[in-house]
Structure formats: structure tokens, C-alpha cells
Amino acid sequence: MSQSLHLTTRGSVLEIVLDRPKANAIDAKTSHEMGEVFLRFRDDPNLRVAIITGAGERFFSAGWDLKAAAEGEAPDADFGAGGFAGLTELFDLDKPVIAAVNGYAFGGGFELALAADMMVCSNNASFALPEAQLGIVPDSGGVLRLPKRLPPAIVNEMLMTGRRMNADEALRWGIANRVVSSAELMDSARELADQITNSAPLAVAALKEIYRATSELSVEEGYKLMRSGVLTHYPRVLHSEDATEGPLAFAEKRAPEWKGR
């Protein structure tokens, strides 16, 4: 594995640390490597949750490596499986990812964090999409995901001026789940990951699948799609052993033993 990525497995949780001094910026090579990691996470039945963070306390990620750009790497370069940073276009990942954001998450770094399912931030976290000021646009999800999370006026200001958003504002708008001190960041992200692993794996996969498939539909249309039989995980969870185990464990006042089937 590249020296730019440090991987640790803690039970069923995969921790990924991006380590590219000084700003944890991501070039095409690193993006390819991150894509390989997220694909292995997707396909490993023993892994349930991933946490992505940046080494150090100053930068989660400054996004696209502008040094590589200056050396000729194009904005539309092949960034590998899953798109930029390996996650921004990995649409068939039915396992949750937590972004543990320490310090600056700018450009593609913010887009990587937005592609995660949940976000825990240190109180010195800061978010921005400065691409317009560099003559490009945040097309690794920023221009698509941010309008689904924030009011239009705030989106336009961030996209068109590159203005920064701090951790407390991100929490108020519901972009972040938690804001903690830098010292507490990974412990808080791990606590959240452990809470997810207490839920049944098939149920979590079905939740991601249903949300992804119905997010642009009306409630009525969402019901029709959910009941149509075209989804994969939702029908499985209804008739799974885990669907029997959950109520049984509750009645017996014990922790459920999930089998993922």
C-alpha cells in the first residue's frame, strides 16, 4: 500500500488515514489508491463501517493536488474507481462511511467529506469550495451535493466566492453530526462507528439503498419503488434471519447476534 494511506482494522471498522504532507492533497495516483481501498471495503463481508480522516490536525484534505495540476494533471484526469478520492462517485457502496474532519477540508477535501454518510468535525474544522477562484468548478460532487444540503443563497455564496464555513456553522446546517475537540475527534468517530455496528448489517445496507433510490422521488413514488421488488437489500432484510433475531433478542432482553443473512 502507498505511504500516503495508512489502514487500520478495528473489529469490523476500517480506518483510513490520508497522509500526504503538508496539506493531504490528492493527486490522480493517490485517488486511484483510495478507490482500491474503498472497493475492498465494499467487498469485504467482515467490514461494516469505514472512517476516513487526514493525518495531523491542520488538514483533513486540501483537495486536488494543485502541484500536480501545475505539472500538467488535468481537472478531468482519470481519478480511478469511485471517482475523485475513491468515494465521490462510488454509488453502489451500501456500507456507511464516516468522515472525521480535522482542520481544513477545502475543494475536493470538502467534496470527499460530503460524499461520506456522516461527519464528525474537530472544532477547528473549516470548509470551502474555492474552485471558481482557481478557474475551475467543484465537479467532484460539491456543485451537486451541497445544494441538497444547504439553502440556495448559502450554496451560491460558497460556490461563487469560496467563502469558508466553520465547524459550528456546519453543525447548525446539519452538514456535521458532531463537533468535538481535536483530541476527541477519532474517539467520537469510533463511538459513532460502534453505534452503527450495533445495528443489523442488512438493515443498514437496505437503508442506504432505499435512500439512494428514493431521494429524488415523492413519498408516494418512493413507496411504489420500494414495494416494486427492484431493490436488492430491502427484500432480503424483510425475510432475513436477522429480522427474526432482532425482535427475539429484544423479547429475551439480550443483545442481538447479527449474522448478516
User: 191 an active-site residue?
Assistant: no
**DSSP 3-state of 37:** helix
Q: Is there a catalytic annotation at residue 241?
A: no
43, with CB counted inside 10 A (0-12, 13-18, 19+), is: exposed
Radius of gyration (C-alpha) of the chain in whole angstroms: 19
Which residues face 87 on adjacent strands? none
233 C-beta neighbours (distance < 10 Å), count = 19
Which residue among the candidates 131, 169, 191, 220 is catalytic per the annotation?
131
Residues sharing a CB contact under 8 Å with residue 119, sequence separation 6 or more, in sequence order = 98, 99, 101, 113, 170, 175, 176, 177
Could you tell me where the DSSP H helices lie in the chain? 28-43, 66-70, 108-115, 142-145, 152-161, 167-172, 185-197, 201-214, 219-227, 233-238, 241-251
Considering the candidates 36, 57, 111, 157, report the single residue annotated as catalytic.
111
CA distances from 47 to 21, 37, 260 (A): 28, 12, 11
The C-alpha cell of 3 is what?
505511504
Instruction: Check whether the bond before 22 is cis (ω within 30° of 0).
Output: yes
Burial class (CB in 10 A: 0-12, 13-18, 19+), 89: middle
Residue indicated by cell numbers 478531468 = 76
Residue 31 is classified by DSSP as H
Which residues are catalytic, by number?
Answer: 111, 131
